[in-house]
Amino acid sequence: MTKKVKVFILLGQSNMVGAGKVKGGDGSLEFAVKEKKKYPYLMQDDGQWTERQDVRFVRYMSGRGPLNNEWMTVKGNTLGPEFGIGHVLGNAIDAPVMILKCCIGNRALGWDLLPPGSERSEFVTKDKAGVEIKLVYAGYQDKPEFWEMDPAKGLKTEPPPWLDKAGKPINWYAGKQWDDDTGDAKKALADLERHYPGAKGYEVAGFFFWQGERDAGNAGHAAHYEKNLVAFIKALRKEFNAPDAKFVCGTLGEAVKGASGPGGQVLEAHLAVDGSTGKYPEFKGNVATLYTHPMAQGGSGNGHYGGKAEVYMDVGEAMGNAMVELLKNTVKTPGETKKLVPEEDVAFFEKKYQKRITGVKPKSEYPDPDQFYSAIAVQLGIPEIAWKAAAEKYGWKKDDGKNTFTILKGGPAAGGGQGTWDIMFMRYTINPQTRKPDQASRQQVMVQLDYDGNIRFPEIPIGNR
């Protein structure tokens, strides 16, 4: 191993921890993979979960761990977005990858995860009698979470003692979970050989953050969320000496654009830090926000999306792809961009599909790239997968008396662009009198598979019919 490990740190609360079901019926990961044929990269042909030897998964939780420390594979009873993230990054990055998850549930950015340097904030509310009062919200290492402001002292108002029912001081403060989570990550990286055997060094390349339910339940935290999120991003880069590390943030699945109230404020904050908005010029090209509502399947963060594994997988894949796009902006030398997405050669497909490919020449040795992709597709069983999908959808049978003509394209030449296989099936019977194709029986269908195994049936362009 000659290249440094690319480390990606996952932070947040319970949905980053993960509540998706691995085992069981509809809604579980097993069902999605075995019955619905989704995420085929997660399972080998023999029915065993795939184990990646180039992606390491490490997990800590509030000082406990490592709770996971293995080559990435499905194990245990629950999942978060780590499998989607890990496989996307492992496929895209030509270097060893570590997914380092350090988080726990029910934590607020405005309280538990408040980063160092955060100062006290003011929030105006009303008491039960409808009288307006001003509150001081804690700065880093303050406690409790908030307290009433003395108008004469303003934000310098000191909080009262914070005691439990027995009169003992409560051992918590603003930023305690920040200290725990970043401390866990640093502990893992300080013992790199234990957590990534054979590693020769590491670089913190990015952060993933999926959080906000706790803040959306508190009007003061929601009002301060954007300010705190900006500080959080900057503080992470400083804490890990990683000024160029990318940051991908996921919104709450139940949050809909245009919503009001505390949940709407948290959503607007998430969307505001995306570098493409221009609100924070320093985040251009290095911070991205993923709008997860379309992937939530009607679920909510507080309800852990009903335990639906597909939500966690879809969000993970999308967050991973967002990170890959940000990493393309990483500059190696002036005017030169690092090549993070490898050439689609034989090695690329062997790594992507975790299969040995033999007898296929380098792409440059074929007069037509389609010949290279066809040779790869045959070894990967792509035509058979496409046929099975079409047969199930349209009721085809191989012994139904029809002839089948197949055209396959892959990679950049495919209709769907790089990252797809396009398989066109033309089926017809032969007229016994003319011995020519019977045009009345002719059926033409396009099946499109992306490199992650997702299948769709796009409409065939008129010019190709």
Q: What is the pLDDT of residues 12-49, one digit of tens each?
A: 999 999 999 999 999 999 999 999 999 999 998 889 99
How many Å apart are CA 462 and CA 465, to the nearest integer?
5
In terms of pLDDT, which residue wins out, 352 or 29? 29
Q: According to DSSP H, which parts of 100-218 are helical?
A: 176-190, 192-195, 213-216
Say if CB 109 and CB 270 are below 8 A apart.
no
How many Å apart are CA 255 and CA 216, to the nearest integer?
10
Least Cα distance to 254 among 295, 307, 313 occurs for 295
How many Å apart are CA 317 and CA 283, to the nearest integer?
22
pLDDT tens digits, 270-280: 999 999 999 99
Other Cβ atoms closer than 10 A to 403: 11
Per-residue confidence (pLDDT) for residue 460, from 0 to 100 = 67
**How far, in whole angstroms, is CA 454 from its chain's centroid?**
16
How many Å apart are CA 406 and CA 425, to the nearest integer?
5
Say if CB 169 and CB 161 are below 8 A apart.
yes
Q: Which of 213-222, 332-341, 368-377 has the lowest mean pLDDT?
A: 332-341
Q: What is the mean pLDDT of the chain?
A: 90
Say if CB 155 and CB 70 are below 8 A apart.
no
pLDDT tens digits, 163-221: 999 999 999 999 999 999 999 999 999 999 999 999 989 999 999 999 999 999 999 99
Least Cα distance to 337 among 411, 285, 278 occurs for 285
DSSP state of 275: G
Q: CA distances (Å), 65 to each of 85, 102, 193, 311, 343, in order?
A: 21, 10, 16, 26, 37
> Concatenated DSSP letters for 329-366?
T-EEETTEE---S--SSHHHHHHHHT----S---GGGS
Per-residue confidence (pLDDT) for residue 443, from 0 to 100 = 87
How many Å apart are CA 86 and CA 51, to the nearest integer?
11
Q: Phi-psi region for residue 366, left (φ > 0), alpha (ψ -120 to 50) or beta?
A: beta
State the Rg of the chain over Cα.
26
Torsional sign, CA 140, 62, 242, 89: negative
Neighbouring C-alpha atoms within 13 Å toward the C-beta of 152:
0
DSSP H or E stretch at residue 372: helix 369-380
Q: What is the mean pLDDT of residues 102-110?
A: 97
For 200, the 3-state DSSP assignment is coil
pTM over 0.85: no
Least Cα distance to 210 among 7, 19, 71 occurs for 19
Q: What is the mean pLDDT of residues 150-168?
A: 96
Residue 316, phi then psi, degrees to nearest 5: -60, -45
In terms of pLDDT, which residue wins out, 325 or 346? 325
- Is the domain spanning 5-111+177-337 CATH 3.40.50.1110? The answer is yes
Start and end residues for every CATH 3.40.50.1110 domain found in the chain? 5-111+177-337
Say if CB 233 and CB 113 are below 8 A apart.
no
Q: Helix/strand/coil (H, E, C) string of 209-234?
A: EECCHHHHCCHHHHHHHHHHHHHHHH
Distant-in-sequence, close-in-space partners of 306: CB < 8 Å, separation ≥ 6: 27, 297, 299
